[in-house]
């Protein structure tokens, strides 16, 4: 159903501003409306989250009152990448703009869309002007993009080739709703890119390679190679991972006293995050007078969920620290039991991340089912992601979080013997290398003889880094002694991740072949 244009109301004003995280649902809905019937799809919310996390200052919206009626997305690219042949997926990282280069000399325009009910108000013009202003504010050489030809398919018989059609538009013998507008806005045509976006049937897959040169910046190439490595900033994130010993407790209060002790320790060291292991709340079952069956045990544990959430949130507020609350079996509103990691931020916000892949053991003995949502969590230390134990062994999940902007991946785990532990450890190290992120592991040690599936534990908690020159040579920022209760801490620098991604010995994220493969999330 068409949306009524609200600009007839004198109280409604058009305003252009930078996009915010809160705008994402509206932007996703706008893009769906704009591309309906074209054969192309709008932007799902995880993609828009990635855009915001990678380059927030490059995303703009136009609002009519509270309604978003226009949107544009940009990223920075190097001159070499800007002018060579490319396709949309390759240069935009499939829309997530994980390919954003903070040192890039050019602003790349990857998207402009305007609500069909608000066309005629020069909303596109406002967005293009915002891009130009951004390029000038950042002292970039200019703007480059590959535009659409939405009337090409309907006129190709008349002109024979895409090149002939573009030439007719340039000579003003033919009007194109997009190209004609761009030429009027001082953009120069530099060529056609075949197979730029094959899903764009109206443009027959072509992209029109265009540039706008910033008049305030010299276009003369700099002499010699430019140094773009070795930079660092003082900002760091201090993380403490708790290798937690399972022991019998007499009450919920005793359990929380042990938890509070470790929160206090990491907070005293001015930590930003403290991390607990997967299923560490199973310790509460040691209070039971007799051993419960696995199903009975999980059912008993789920009853502690409200009390656990309230107590952990209070600790995060009192100690001014973000808590990755291990994981806790939770009865969902639909009756399913899921293994949930609760994340308690120091502003009082509580997030929940379900384990996506229960192990065969969890599914068989405890009837735990997997979740279907996986999003980054915005914190005061930047975007983070959480994967619970077995989930770290599925590389697509970590890549999905990295594409959304995650810089630190937290992995609470619970493994009974060394082989199981090493599967998780090796996979976490791989996730750190292939995504150029930090990975923090936290596991249980000790034994709970009367608690089903918790009779033995093996752990060596650690904080892992990519393997490159800015980091520890073995890719380990901090490690623990196996099977010993202790805390390991490290200062993690997000700027070093950016240095590695853009000028490291290897550049895994930048070198991905987006023309060949990508991860597409089908869940929410």
pLDDT digits (tens, 9 = 90+) for 200-214: 999 999 999 999 999
H-run or E-run covering 264: helix 252-268
Active-site option among 72, 381, 389, 428: 389
Q: Which has the closest alpha carbon to 495: 108, 237, 139?
A: 237
Q: Are 359 and 423 in contact (CB under 8 A)?
A: no
| pLDDT the model gives residue 217 | 85
- List residues bridging with 276 in a β-sheet: 325
For residue 232, pLDDT over 60 is answered with no
Question: Which pLDDT band, with edges at 50, 70 and 90, does 479 fall under?
Answer: very high
Of 379, 387, 299, nearest to 335 by C-alpha is 299
Please give the average per-residue pLDDT across 464-482, as a whole number: 94
Average pLDDT for residues 191-198, to the nearest whole number? Answer: 94
Sign of the torsion angle spanned by Cα atoms 23, 24, 25, 29: positive
Pick 472 or 48 by higher pLDDT.
48
Res 320: pLDDT:
86
Nearest to 447 by CA among 483, 405, 410: 483
Alpha-carbon distances of 428 from 231, 362, 433, rounded to whole Å: 27, 21, 9
CA 376 to centroid of chain Cα atoms: 5
Do the beta carbons of residue 274 and residue 238 sit within 8 Å? no
Q: How many residues are there in the chain?
A: 524
Any catalytic annotation for residue 522? no
Stated as kind and residue range, the H or E segment containing 59 is: strand 59-64
For 22, other C-beta atoms within 10 Å of its C-beta total 7
Say how far apart CA 104 and CA 42 lie, in whole Å.
27
Q: Give the pLDDT confidence of 414-438 residue by residue, as tens digits.
A: 999 999 999 999 999 999 999 999 9
The residue assigned the tokens 């006129």 is: 155
Q: Is the pLDDT of residue 524 over 80?
A: no
What are φ and ψ of residue 369, in 5° steps?
-115, 155
Q: What is the dihedral of CA 105, 109, 26, 397, to 10 degrees?
A: -70
- Measure the CA–CA gap between 474 and 466, rounded to whole angstroms: 9
Q: What is the mean pLDDT of residues 472-477?
A: 92
Q: Where are the beta strands (DSSP E) in 436-499?
A: 438-442, 444-446, 462-464, 476-479, 486-492
By C-alpha distance, which of 6, 115, 107 is closest to 66? 6
Average confidence (pLDDT) over 152-176: 93
- CB of 315 closer than 8 Å to CB of 344: yes
Distance, CA of 500 to CA of 509 (rounded, Å): 10
DSSP string for 292-306? PPHHHHHHHHHTTHH
In this structure, the dihedral spanned by the alpha carbons of residues 151, 42, 431 and 20, taken in order and rounded to 10 degrees, is 110
Q: What is the pLDDT of residue 222?
A: 52
- What are the tokens at 60? 């703009």
- 20 in active site: no
Mean pLDDT computed over 131-151:
94
Q: Are 494 and 237 in contact (CB under 8 A)?
A: yes
- Please tell me which residue in 90, 338, 341, 355 is annotated as part of the active site: 355
CB count in 10 Å sphere of residue 19: 23
pLDDT in tens, 12-41: 888 899 999 999 999 999 999 999 888 888
pLDDT on residue 234: 47
- The pTM score is 0.81
> Which helix or strand (DSSP H or E) is residue 431 part of?
helix 418-435
pLDDT in tens, 316-356: 998 889 999 999 999 999 999 999 999 999 988 999 999 99
Rounded to whole angstroms, how far apart are CA atoms 410 and 77? 30
* 389 labelled catalytic: yes
What is the DSSP code (8-state) at residue 319?
A: H
Look over the chain and give the mean of its residue pLDDT values, rounded to a whole number.
91
Contact 365, 320 (CB under 8 A): no
Q: What is the Cα–Cα distance from 383 to 396, expressed in whole angstroms? A: 18
**Which one is catalytic: 90, 105, 111, 278?**
278
């Amino acid at each position: 159903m068409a949306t009524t244009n609200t600009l007839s109301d004198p109280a409604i004003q058009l305003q252009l501003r930078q996009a915010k995280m809160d705008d994402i649902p509206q932007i996703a809905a706008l893009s769906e409306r704009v591309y309906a019937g074209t054969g192309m799809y709008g932007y799902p919310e995880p993609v828009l989250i990635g855009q915001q996390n990678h380059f927030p200052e490059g995303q703009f919206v136009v609002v009519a009152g509270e309604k978003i009626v226009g949107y544009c997305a940009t990223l920075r690219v190097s001159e070499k990448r800007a002018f060579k042949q490319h396709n949309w997926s390759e240069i935009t990282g499939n829309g997530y703009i994980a390919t954003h280069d903070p040192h890039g000399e050019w602003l790349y325009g990857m998207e402009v869309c305007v609500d069909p009910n608000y066309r005629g108000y020069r909303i596109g013009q406002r967005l293009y002007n915002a891009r130009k202003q951004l390029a000038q504010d950042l002292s970039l050489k200019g703007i480059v993009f590959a535009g659409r030809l939405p009337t090409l398919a309907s006129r190709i018989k008349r002109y024979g080739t895409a090149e002939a059609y573009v030439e007719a538009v340039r000579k003003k013998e033919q009007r194109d709703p997009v190209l004609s507008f761009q030429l009027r806005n001082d953009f120069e045509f530099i060529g056609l890119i075949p197979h730029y976006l094959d899903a764009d049937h109206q443009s027959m897959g072509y992209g029109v390679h265009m540039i706008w040169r910033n008049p305030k910046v010299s276009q003369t190439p700099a002499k010699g190679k430019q140094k773009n490595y070795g930079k660092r900033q003082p900002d760091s994130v201090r993380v403490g991972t708790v290798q937690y010993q399972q022991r019998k407790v007499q009450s919920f209060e005793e359990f929380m006293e042990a938890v509070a002790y470790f929160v206090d320790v990491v907070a005293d060291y001015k930590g930003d995050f403290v991390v607990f292991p997967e299923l560490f709340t199973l310790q509460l079952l040691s209070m039971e007078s007799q051993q419960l069956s696995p199903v009975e045990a999980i059912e008993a544990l789920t009853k502690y969920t409200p009390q656990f959430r309230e107590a952990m949130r209070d600790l995060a507020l009192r100690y001014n620290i973000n808590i990755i609350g291990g994981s806790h079996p939770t009865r969902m509103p639909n009756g399913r039991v899921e293994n949930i990691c609760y994340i308690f931020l120091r502003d009082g916000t509580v997030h929940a991340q379900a384990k996506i892949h229960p192990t065969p053991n969890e599914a068989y003995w405890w009837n735990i089912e997997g979740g279907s949502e996986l999003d980054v969590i915005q914190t005061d230390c930047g975007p983070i992601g959480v994967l619970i134990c077995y989930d770290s062994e599925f590389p697509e999940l970590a890549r999905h979080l990295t594409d959304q902007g995650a810089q630190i991946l937290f992995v609470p785990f619970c493994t009974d013997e060394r082989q199981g532990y090493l599967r998780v450890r090796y996979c976490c190290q791989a996730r750190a290398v292939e995504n150029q992120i930090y990975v923090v592991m936290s596991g249980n040690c000790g034994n709970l003889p009367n608690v089903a599936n918790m009779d033995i534990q093996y752990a060596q908690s650690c904080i892992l880094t990519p393997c490159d020159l800015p980091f520890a040579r073995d890719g380990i920022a901090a490690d623990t002694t196996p099977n010993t209760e202790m805390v390991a801490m490290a200062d993690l620098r997000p700027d070093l991740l950016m240095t590695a991604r853009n000028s490291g010995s290897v550049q895994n994220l930048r070198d991905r072949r987006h023309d060949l493969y990508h991860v597409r999330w089908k869940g929410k």
